[in-house]
Chain A
Amino acid sequence: MSEILHLQSVSRNFSGLKALRDVSLSLSKGEVLGLIGPNGAGKTTLVNVVTGVTPASSGTVTFMGQDITRVKTYQSARLGLSRTFQVVQPFAELSALDNVAAAALFSQSGESIKSAREEARAHLAFVGLEAQSGKPAATLTLAMRKRLELAKALAMKPKLLFLDEVNAGLNSAEVERATRLIHELAESGITIVMIEHLMKVVLNVCTRIIVLHNGQLIADGAPRDVMKNPAVVEAYLGQQYAQRAGADG
């Protein structure tokens, strides 16, 4: 499989805080990568660095052979990098349809408002929001707005898609529905990086997991192996628990 994304010793500092320390990572086309770690580990910062929201302090990011370390957000969006936000970011007053149409219109060249709306209809149908297409985004429920985020990301025809906690705050039926959608996306060949706290979803969907802790990459591998890794257990549950678990096992 060919490489789609490569991070070479990427660091990001916020004044004194080192949010990412020397992270190197390679991602192949078609992978579904789970990005996990405790709160404040640097997961969202990693996504922000790749999408150009907060550029790396040092190191390089390569996307499909092109150096995108200093590329601006709107440019990376046009290259085929798209993301959903942990805190949903709809255009509140626009209809659900226009939210998705905007994503199609501004990320692709040669789109007209009319053709973008037509495409948007198909994406809304895919996430099951066709009945809501005329409603302002602000009036949708949280679960619907999360799916709207997904439809927006898809309308950008992404090659690499970052899903930042699409399941946070959803009930179990909604999570199941979202997981099915992610499965379908993965099968359609889009490379996915998902930040996720629900281990059930991670183990169900991901082909590989990386673990961040205090800005450092502490584990990388197949889901089952990573979950048994003592460093990961320690990061999540503390040193004492890890030692006891090690002694028991």
Chain B
Amino acid sequence: MRRSHLILLGLVVSVAALPTVGGAYALRLGTIACMYGALALSWNVVGGLAGYPSFATAAFFGFGAYTAGVLLGKGAPLLVSVFVAGAMSFVLACLLGAALLRLRGHYFAIASLSLIEVFRELVNNATDLTGGGMGLNIPLTSTAGVMADATFFFYLMWGLLVGTALMVATVEGSKLGFGLACIRQNETAADMIGLNTTVYKSVAFGLSACFVGAAGGVYAAWVHYIDPPDVFDILYSVKPIVMALIGGLGSPVGVLVGAFVYLGLEEVVWRNYIQVHSGVLGVLIVLLLLFLPHGLMSLRSRIVTWRPKRV
């Protein structure tokens, strides 16, 4: 395991200490931080490692949320529902990936974006199963009390973040990660050296959807009520990309740091500029990307290579 992976896991583990320092607000923020972290790290597999700019995160988030929501409504245990949501997202993404990943660049981005619309319309129209536009009520999974519930869901989401981080670290050091790096840099050449690019890209797309679907499942159980505009919100696709760009494309540590920094900015801006919060957040993101085009991770190398000038 490489040093960057240890830093990544260290970062993830330190988040687990959050409930000891804060109340309900800290728990809520921590749960969202873990969710954002899992979404951004997942996006990095297909967007950062394979170089395919996917906007499908929201599609699989919503798919996972509805899969788990429907299962919970039918009385399935929480962990089983979340697991099934993740597994089904993986399979669905692998199948869709085999078709969609024939497109490259902007064409792929638009096609992945359309997945959100397709899924939302399907959910909207399958009224008997999903409640359609009325939304879906999800039964409470425990009666232990508000704080115990909040702590439970924090650790569940944290567990997903750990799983995502382990998955990313494993992929990076494996033949799959090597192959994805080749595909990102030169797909024609990758094909020519005997790499089955379709399979590699589809698996990457599947892995990037798997934990997103599971996170959607946990989210559904956590908030008890979901409707299509909420879980198929395009912001779930855009935010992970912004986080990855803030942190530094391709580097898992950077992406996770980017996720936390983004959440911090979002919270601070929302609290202080309630009237114009999206505008202020947008300006901040533009400034960050203008002055740090390679993300926060590029600061590290600047600090490391900085030497005092000699006369």
Over the window 189-224 of chain B, the binary record of Cβ atoms lying under 8 Å from chain A Cβ atoms (1 yes, 0 no) is 111111111000000000000000000000000000
Take A74-B196, A106-B193, A152-B193 as given contacts and tell me if A90 and B186 are in contact as well, using a CB distance cutoff of 8 Å: yes
- Whose C-beta in chain B lies nearest to the C-beta of A78? B194
Q: Which secondary structure dominates chain B's binding surface?
A: helix
Looking at A90, A106, A156, the one whose CB has the most chain B CB atoms below 10 A away is: A106
Known: A74-B197, A107-B194. A90 touches B189 (CB 8 A): yes
The yes or no answer to A77 lying at the interface (CB within 8 A) is yes
A107 to B179, CA, bound (A): 12
What is the chain B residue whose CB lies nearest that of A112? B175
**Which of A12-20, A91-99, A178-186, A240-248 sits within the interface?**
A91-99
Interface residues of B, count at CB 8 A:
17
Interface contact B186-A106, CB-CB below 8 Å: no
Instruction: Check B114 for interface membership: any CB of A closer than 8 A.
Output: no
- Would you call B188 an interface residue if the criterion is a C-beta within 8 Å of the partner chain's C-beta atoms? yes
Roughly how many angstroms separate A53 CA and B193 CA in the complex, as a whole number?
12
By a CB distance below 8 angstroms, the chain A residues around B107 are none
* Total count of chain A residues near the partner, CB < 8 A: 27
Given contacts A102-B178, A105-B175, A113-B178, contact A94 B185 (CB under 8 A): yes
Tell me the minimal C-beta distance from B178 to chain A in angstroms. Answer: 6
**A123: CB under 8 A from chain B?**
no
| Residues of chain A in range 12-53 having any CB-CB distance to chain B below 8 Å | 51, 53
Q: How far is the CA of A184 from the CA of B193 in the complex (A)?
A: 22
Interface status of A73 (Cβ within 8 A of chain B): yes
**In the complex, what residue of chain A is closest to B181 when comparing beta carbons?**
A94
Interface string of B36-51 (1 = CB under 8 A from A): 0000000000000000
Interface flag for B182 (CB, 8 Å): yes
Q: Are A89 and B189 touching (Cβ within 8 A)?
A: yes
Chain A residues near B175 (CB-CB < 8 A): 105, 112-113
B191 & A91 in contact (Cβ 8 Å cutoff): no
For the complex formed, measure the closest distance between the CB of A243 and the CB atoms of chain B, giving whole angstroms: 43
5 interchain pairs, CB-CB under 8 A: A51-B192, A92-B185, A94-B181, A102-B179, A106-B182
Chain B residues at the A interface, C-beta cutoff of 8 Å: 175, 178-179, 181-182, 185-186, 188-197
- Nearest first, the 6 A-B pairs at minimum CB distance are A107-B194, A77-B194, A89-B189, A106-B195, A91-B185, A103-B193
**Chain A residues close to B by CB (< 8 Å):** 51, 53, 73-75, 77-78, 82-83, 85, 89-94, 98, 102-103, 105-108, 112-113, 152, 156
Identify 8 new A-B residue pairs, CB closer than 8 A, beyond the known A73-B192, A91-B182, A106-B195: A51-B192, A75-B194, A90-B189, A91-B189, A91-B190, A94-B181, A94-B185, A106-B193
